[in-house]
Amino acid sequence: MRLPTLISSVLGTAYLVAALPAANIEARGTCGSFAPAGFCPASPTSTGPSSGPSSTPGSCTNPTIRKEWRTFSVDEKKAFLSAVKCLGSKPHNWDLVQSNTGPDIPNMMTDPSISMYDDMVFTHIDLNHHIHSTGWFFPWHRWYLNVYARLLTTQCGYTGALPYWDWTQDAADFEHATFWDADPNSGVGTWGNPNNDYQIEDGAWGLNSGFKLHYPSTHAIRRQFTPQPYLQFPRPYLLADVNLLANETFTKDRLDASLFGFDGDFQGFQKSFQDYQGPHAGVHLMVGADLTGLCPGNAPASCVPGESWSPNDPLFFMHHAMVDKTWYDWQNRASNKYLFQGGSTQMLDSLASYDAYPLGSAPWLSSTSILPTGGWARFDTKSSVAIQDLFDTQNGYLCYTYQ
C-alpha cells in the first residue's frame, strides 16, 4: 500500500507546486457555458457578488448550532447520513476547475458517474499542497465546511446542523469506541473488511448502501485501524517519537495544550494543532485507508497516496468540524479572534525550514487574501471570499456557532 509515500503526502509532501496567487481562481462563468445539455443543476439562491469583508454585524440572527454527533437524536442522524448519500447522487458541478498538476493530482473527472460529492473531494485534491502547513489551513477548511453544509441544504434538503466528532472522547480505546456504529440507518459504520480492501460493510454508508467514491478509482468507503502510523514515516526529523501511538495525539490533554497554551500566538497555536504528531494528523492517520489517503486496491498504478483523497470518507467533514471548533474556541479566548499570519508555500524539506516557517513562506497571506475556491462560487453566497470573511462565524456570510 506504499505507506511511506502515503505518510509523506499526508503530513507534508516533497513535491514542488507553484504557490497560488492571492486571488480567486474562479475561471468559469455560468455552468451552461461548459456543460453538456441537461447537466446543470439549478443554482441555489445567492446574495450576488461581494468583494467586501462580510455582511454587516448583526445580520446573523438565528445561527445554526453545530453539535457533537452523539448528541444527535436517531432521526437527526438519519437525516444527516441520508443527505450525505444524496450529495453522492447529485450530478457533477460543471463550474469545477483544476488549477494544479503533479504526480499526486489526477485529471479532473467529468463522466456521468462523477457526483457533486466527488467534486468536493477533487477540490481538496487539487489544492492539497496549498491548504496544509500554510496559513490557508484554518480559514480554507472553514470555507470548505461552509460550502459542504450549504450543498447538503440546497441540493439535498437537509435542514439540520453539521455534526462535529469530538475524538477526545474516543482516544482511550479508539478501535472499540461507541462512535463506531453499524446501524444501517443511523450509524457512520465501523472498520473495513481486511479481506475486501478494507471497505466498510455496515452503517448508512456501507458497501451495499449505494454510496460510491470515484477518486482515484471506484470504491466504497475504506477504513483501516492503524495504531502506529509513524513507524513508516520517511522523514523522522519531523517527528518527536516514531513509536508514538496515534491516539496519544488527540487526547483531551493534548488538545488543551494547543487550545490554552498559545493565547495571542496564532502561529504557535496552529503549529501545535497541525503538527505532524498533533490532533489533526493523528485522527487522519489512525482511521487509515480513505481518511489517511491510501490508494484503493483497484487504483491505477499511477496513484500516489496522500491526504488529498481524505474527504472520500465523510468522516473527514465531521473531523474537520471538530478542527474548526478548536479554532473557534481558541478565537473566542482572550483577544484571539482576528489574529492571523502565514504564507502560501509549504516549507517541509528540513526541520530547520519547517521550524522557521511552520505556517508556510512567501507569497505571504493577509486577512484580505482571497481564497482559492475551485469553481464553487455559484453554490456559495459570495463570489469572492477573503480570509477576513472567515474570522467571525456569525458575521452574516457565516452564521453558526458550536454547542
- Model-wide pTM > 0.75: yes
Q: Which residues contact 16 (CB under 8 A, 6 or more apart)?
A: none
**Has residue 16 got a pLDDT over 70?**
no
Report which DSSP code applies to 345.
E
**Per-residue pLDDT at 249:** 98
- How far from the centroid of its chain's Cα atoms is residue 190's Cα? 20
Beta strands at 400-402 and 64-68: parallel, antiparallel or unpaired: parallel
Report which DSSP code applies to 213.
B
**Per-residue pLDDT at 280:** 98
**Has residue 298 got a pLDDT over 50?**
yes
The tens digit of pLDDT for each residue in 227-248 reads 999 998 767 888 999 999 999 9
Q: What is the mean pLDDT of the chain?
A: 88
Neighbours of 39 (CB within 10 A): 15
Q: How far, CA to CA in Å, does 316 sit from each of 109, 121, 220, 291, 308?
A: 21, 10, 15, 7, 11
Q: Which ranges in 35-108 belong to alpha helices (H)?
A: 74-87
**Per-residue pLDDT at 58:** 53
Tell me, what amino acid is at 126?
D
The tens digit of pLDDT for each residue in 164-181 reads 999 999 999 999 999 999
Rounded to an integer, the average pLDDT of 112-141 is 97
Taking the CA atoms of the chain, what radius of gyration do you get in angstroms? 20
Tell me, what amino acid is at 46?
S
**Per-residue pLDDT at 29:** 35
Task: Identify the CATH assignment for 3-402 out of 1.10.10.10, 1.20.1250.20, 1.10.1280.10, 1.10.15.40.
Answer: 1.10.1280.10
The tens digit of pLDDT for each residue in 17-57 reads 334 444 433 333 334 333 443 333 433 333 332 223 333 44
